Structure 1
Amino acid sequence: MVSLSGRVHRTVHSVEVDAAAGVVYGLISDAVQWPLYFPPNVYVERLEFDGTNERLRMWATANGEVRSWISQRVQDPQERRIEFHQTLPQAPVETMHGTWVVEERPGGTSLLTLLHDFTVVGGRPEDVAWVESACDTNSRAELANIKRLAERWTRLDELVLSFEDSVRVKGPAELVYDFLYRVGDWPDLIPHVSRVDLTEDSPGVQLMSMDTLTADGSTHTTESVRVCFPHAGRIVYKQTATPALMEAHTGEWSVVPDETGVTVVSQHSVVLREEAVTRVLGPAADLTTARRYVRRALGQNSSTTLDLAREHAETAVRML
């Protein structure tokens, strides 16, 4: 590592996992799924991958801020080791290198270690402290969730739920996207949304707090980060504060034009919080009950939003 500003700072975090090393390595190797599995990660876009060398664009929270960078990774499944470095770090980070190492332990357990080496622009102590704090907070959260998921690996298919809803629109894709992008206006446009607090300090990166009304009249408050790609007609999001039944929730709105119109898709991925099922849904409820409930609740809200986006676009066309 070459630094222009001063000395290299190192952090080391590790966790013992009651799961096979191959299971743990599988979780850290599939970075596209990290937003669903790791609390700090908002969105990961795989730009290149040849089976060994990988280039990723990543968005994640760090000390309460949303940061973005491009990361180059080299995967070594035989050694269960992944090395990475940020090719376009965001200040105050000047350089950031690291390694994931999974060691097999007796009895089918494993030890996962995450190493970071970094320098900061100008070497200022307050910037070093900021990066160290972000590395420590995020590494602890990531390792804890890897442990939690790996130790429930055989039941992960029951806990993870992915689905989508779609609608056809006879109107311009730009109008549909505009409706979905203007989330701050949703309390005036969407019946089940009662409040939205929105900030967008960086173009296309929205932080929001939202109150939604459920069928029984109660209110759910969620917090989310949305990353908007207007030229691609996509908005991806990660809920950073979820309702009780969901351990994690990611999603995407996509607007796909073709020769005859536009298809608008709402996609959801959820990790259920198993320990909350009976508390929220009653003593007789199980994961099957929870899957049906979450699918119905999220699907109804998405379908309502999709229908209103369609009405918005098609009404504008009729008025021209």
Structure 2
Amino acid sequence: MSVERVHRLSCAVDAAAPAGALYTLVADTAPWPLFLRDAVHVERLDFDGTTDRYMQWAIVDGELRRSLWRRTLDPDQRRIGFREERPDDPVAAAGGSWSVTELAPGWSRLTLEQDLTVSGGRGAEAERVLASAEERGRAVLHGLRTAAESWRRLDELLLSFEDSVRIEGPVEPVYEFLYGVDSWPGRVAHVVEAEVTEDRPGVQRTRLVNLAEDGSSYTTEGVRVCFPAAGRIVFKRTRPHPLLAAHAGEWSLEPDAAGVTVVCRHDVLLDERAVERVLGPGADLARARRSVREVLGREARATLGPVPQSAGDTVRALRSV
């Protein structure tokens, strides 16, 4: 009988940030898609003040993977233990801990400890799994360090907002239109080209060429995860608007007896280095925030403009909420 071996990995990074700021970024998983390159969407399922569970959709080895995690948070010790509840084969078990140590005022160290058990123990498959886990771990450390070192300006760099539109008609054609990104060119005013591939049903990779108000164009690329039964489409733009370092969000449909309210939420991280390049000399973060709010809000509302026509007589009217 073979004995499964537990593999242990450890890596750390030092950040020019207070330990409390760094710990907060690790503890709050909701904004991770804005800070971590491969994270697409994170949903907290429950939290009792000490233990939480969350589902994460992330790009792992080129494919979108869903994983379920349980964590135990200890803010006094700045330590978080975690374990994956149902790891994918060939990983039989995966867990570890995050810990934050204060090195000096304004300096802290983030350490990631991982333990993995790979079915079959040793061999090329185990080496591949361990190499991938170490690479992802270092990428996460880098992303959290970068965010932490912007802690003084992070509130100015982050922006979240929603736009809502009320549609008097059934929910199904509205969802079908939002799902069918490849049909948008020629129907959605700012989308001039669209390429869509599906890794599997409900998981889309998109490439859009968008028209700006000044007549120039810019390209965005993204990943979308679709939940038709819940009337939701979550997304992350892996190549966002030129003013942004990261962009994630969600389309959600809220039906009632008379129609449906469509909500588009955007969560963005401004790219401070791009502000003057995109908006011109002297532009600041306040102007960048206004510009992003206007552009993305206008695009979200414009996207829903063709819904009544595309759905025919089944949709009767559309108005802003």
- Contact 2:15-2:107 within 8 A present in 1 as well: yes
The alpha carbon displacement at 1:199 in A equals: 1.9
Which residue in the other structure is 1:130 paired with?
A: 128
Which residue in the other structure is 2:319 paired with?
A: none
- Contact 2:195-2:206 within 8 A present in 1 as well: yes
* Residues in 1 aligned to 2:207 and 2:124: alpha-carbon distance in whole angstroms: 30
Which residue in the other structure is 1:275 paired with?
A: 273
Change (3 A) 1:310 1:57: farther
Q: Does residue 214 in structure 1 map to residue 212 in structure 2?
A: yes
| TM score, norm. by length of structure 2 | 0.92
Query: Which is worse superposed, 309-318 or 159-168?
Result: 309-318
Which residue in the other structure is 2:24 paired with?
A: 26
* Residues in 1 aligned to 2:56 and 2:104: alpha-carbon distance in whole angstroms: 35
Aligned-partner SS, 2:306? helix
Which residue in the other structure is 1:152 paired with?
A: 150
* Residues in 2 aligned to 1:259 and 1:316: alpha-carbon distance in whole angstroms: 14
* Residues in 1 aligned to 2:89 and 2:197: alpha-carbon distance in whole angstroms: 21
Superposed CA deviations along residues 194-249 of structure 1, whole A, max 9, x for unmatched, are 22222222221112222212122222122211111111111000111223310110
Q: Aligned letter for 1:40?
A: D
For structure 2, list consecutive stretches of 5 or more residues without a partner in the other structure: 317-321
Which residue in the other structure is 1:74 paired with?
A: 72
Query: Which is worse superposed, 183-192 or 51-60?
Result: 183-192
* Residues in 2 aligned to 1:242 and 1:16: alpha-carbon distance in whole angstroms: 28
Misfit runs of 4+, over 4 Å:
none
Q: Would you tell me which structure has more helix in proportion to its own residues?
A: 1
Q: Does residue 171 in structure 1 map to residue 169 in structure 2?
A: yes
- Contact 1:186-1:193 within 8 A present in 2 as well: yes
Aligned length in residues: 315
- Contact 2:212-2:218 within 8 A present in 1 as well: yes
- Contact 1:170-1:314 within 8 A present in 2 as well: no
Which residue in the other structure is 2:286 paired with?
A: 288
- Contact 1:225-1:237 within 8 A present in 2 as well: yes
* Residues in 2 aligned to 1:312 and 1:292: alpha-carbon distance in whole angstroms: 32
The alpha carbon displacement at 1:309 in A equals: 2.6
Which residue in the other structure is 2:301 paired with?
A: 303
* Residues in 2 aligned to 1:142 and 1:241: alpha-carbon distance in whole angstroms: 18
Query: Percent of aligned positions with the same letter in both sequences?
Result: 49
Q: Aligned letter for 1:108?
A: G
The alpha carbon displacement at 1:286 in A equals: 0.8
The alpha carbon displacement at 1:118 in A equals: 0.9
Aligned-partner SS, 1:122? coil
Of 89, 92, 96, the match for 1:91: 89
| TM score, norm. by length of structure 1 | 0.93
